[in-house]
Amino acid sequence: MESPFSDMDWLDTASNTLDLAIQKGLYTEFSHLKSDLDRIRFIHNHRSSLLSNTFERYLSSTSSSLTKNATTAINFRKKGNDYFVNKNLSRAAWCYRASIALSIINSQDMALSYGNLSAVLFELNHYHESIRAIQLANDFYPNELKFKLVFRRAACYHKLNDPERSAYELKICRDLIKKTAGLDRKKIDSFCKEMDQLSGQIALLNKRKEEEQHQEQEHTKSYKNLDDLIQHSQTPTETLATCLLKSTEEKIDNEFCPPSPPSPPRSVFLINESNLLLHGPNEHVPCASTTLNVAYSKDKGRHIIANQDIPSDSLILNERPYACLLLPKFAYTYCDHCLTSIVIPYVCPQCSHVLFCSEHCQQRALASYHQYECKHIHVLKTLGIAFLAYRTLTITDHETLWTTITQTTIPNENEIKTNFYKSDYFSIQKLITHTEQMSIDDLFHYSLTAYLLSEIIKSTNFLQCNQIKKRDTEQILLASILLKHIQQMICNAQTISITKTNQIDEIIFDNEDDQDEITKRFASAIFPTCALMNHSCVPNIRCVFDQGYLRVYTARSIRQGEEILNCYGPQKTLMPSTEQRQNVLFEQYFFKCQCEGCIDMIKSQGDKMTNGEN
């Protein structure tokens, strides 16, 4: 299936601009700049000579998939129908979700796709979700076809063991068929047979329920006194309180039996995530276990150590991402806000680039960061990790943003011991950048990208100042912060992967999915606390992304005082060559690995050379 996303090659644009700066003798001036603010001012001051109308071209560009597209939506729905006929339900569901994303809001096309998605959900035994999809389709569904939706809803209630509501929906279905003119007689006859079958099943279910109620009434007795009640307890484990309660409930049921309520939604269990941590949450680091401390040293910076012995397979960190970003190809599979797999999609009214898993996520995203992305999201999605830097800034409220920017300092050992460490914007501001180790070419590229991002922000209502000069000053400051965030994301962002063996739900399918791929990367995110973990090619933890949390478990027993170590690049088991691993790590993270796995390998190689081995 063809990707609905456009592809603008910003990397080529930045490279051409770098060549132009060299030709005009401006590159040397840029190379001597020491701060992110000075680099952004340089781009701002030389904008006309270096960039001409480059930013304007990007900001005025349009994408074929930016706005809703009825033709493309219909094509995706037709593909979904073909997959449905061939019983490829996961691919059918993906196509229907894509069609919903591309359909004009509150249109018949959208309603038809929701209706077709409800059929897939029914076949996959997701009856509550099927009913919800029918509800979303109902208002704009063609009147002459609504009886199909109502019949499917009746079948859902039957499967949910709710014969009263199923019979009620079936009656509505019959009435709709009678009122609808021009229906094909053969199809109606076939449909009526299906309704008759469902009616028979409902009758059997009602009869079974009546028999069960009759049996219960046969066993119901009126007791003369308390002694008689105790004597007739049915099981030896049945307590007095239970008997008294049952007797009271039976009397109420006999006096009045209210109509059955609507079938409840699928059960949702609210779990206090902090209670899952080994020995509970840390007083100073809420998303960490009490078994951990944040430490500081000049050679390691901030890092995490165990303050006691920790057994293997223990949950020691449990953190939500401060900001996260889906890879474009997964936009119709996972929620853009919480990264949960989508069963029923909720849309952006304007663009077709995102879907949400619930009304809650939809409303939160539209009210916060997405309003600053929607118009230019086709550009943002081509900027890679810089897009995550952009979202990290726009997801932060203005008061927190400006307060944090003016207060940020480099942490010292006393701060580590006395301050709380939360998963907030203040913690992100203090993450390292490795600016000194980056090449001038890279810094030039990142500076251009940060300035482009600030131009996008400027085109929205994010900047609160209306005066032109003050807006320019605010834009330059924000661009410098974005430049810092880009550098931070390169060194600190976490890749989020999912293992296919965990995907037990057939509804999960990705466009152009690699059937042989076991583990796939589908998003990137910034986790301020987990970012404190240093690297090892033989890590003592393992990370699992689940229910919107990055859960960090011990991979083996950890001794008191031992550092908690993550793996930034390929593990030793996947890339045995120490030289290759160190090259990969140095290229992105600017350090030469000195972990146990690398030192042991280097020592072993040295011993072989000493002994004359090849």
pLDDT for the residue numbered 251? 39
- Using DSSP bridges, classify how beta strands 565-566 and 519-526 pair: parallel, antiparallel or unpaired: unpaired
Q: Rounded mean pLDDT of the chain?
A: 80
Of 190-194, 248-252, 474-478, 558-562, the poorest mean pLDDT is in 248-252
pLDDT of 526 > 70? The answer is yes
**19 confidence band (pLDDT: 50, 70, 90):** very high
- For the stretch 36-69, pLDDT in tens is 999 999 999 999 888 877 887 787 765 544 578 9
Q: In the chain, what are the helix, strand and coil shares in percent, each to the nearest 5?
A: 55, 10, 35
Contact in structure between 317 and 292 (CB atoms under 8 Å)? yes
Burial 380-401 (b: 16+ CB within 10 A, else e): bbbbbbbbbbbbbbbbbeeeeb
Cβ atoms within 10 A of the Cβ of 264, count?
A: 9
Higher pLDDT, 246 or 559: 559
The pLDDT > 90 percentage for the chain reads 48
Amino acid, res. 286: P
Rounded to 5°, the CA angle 581-539-323 comes to 90
3-class SS letters over 61-88: CCCCCCCCCHHHHHHHHHHHHHHHHCCC
CA distances to 69, 212, 218, 235, 383 from 225, rounded to whole Å, are 74, 27, 20, 19, 79
Angle at 591 between CA 589 and CA 594, to 5 degrees: 130
User: CB–CB of 581/600 below 8 Å?
Assistant: no
The whole-number pLDDT of residue 233 equals 47
Q: What is the pLDDT of residue 121?
A: 95
Q: What is the pLDDT of residue 234?
A: 46
pLDDT given at position 206: 66
Measure the CA–CA gap between 565 and 552, rounded to whole angstroms: 11
Q: Tokens for 298?
A: 């000049």
Q: Is the pLDDT of residue 87 over 80?
A: yes
Quick check: 180 pLDDT over 50?
A: yes
pLDDT tens-digit map of 246-299 = 444 443 333 333 333 344 444 444 456 667 899 999 999 999 999 999 998 888
Res. 230 pLDDT band, cuts 50 70 90: very low
Q: What is the CA radius of gyration of the chain?
A: 31
Query: Quick one: pLDDT at residue 479?
Result: 96
Give me 101's structure tokens: 């994303």
120-125 long-range contacts (CB < 8 A, ≥24 apart) are 120/84, 120/89, 120/92, 120/93, 120/96, 120/507, 121/93, 121/343, 121/344, 121/507, 122/152, 122/155, 122/156, 123/89, 124/89, 124/505, 124/506, 124/507, 125/159
- Domains of the chain (ranges plus CATH)? 10-56 (no CATH), 70-208 (1.25.40.10), 301-321+533-606 (2.170.270.10), 324-495 (no CATH)
* Res 267: pLDDT: 43
Give the confidence band of 323 by pLDDT, cuts at 50, 70, 90.
Answer: very high
Overall average pLDDT of the 307-314 stretch = 96
Consecutive H or E run containing 319: strand 315-319
What is the reported pLDDT for 65?
43
**Owner of token pair 């132009």:** 20
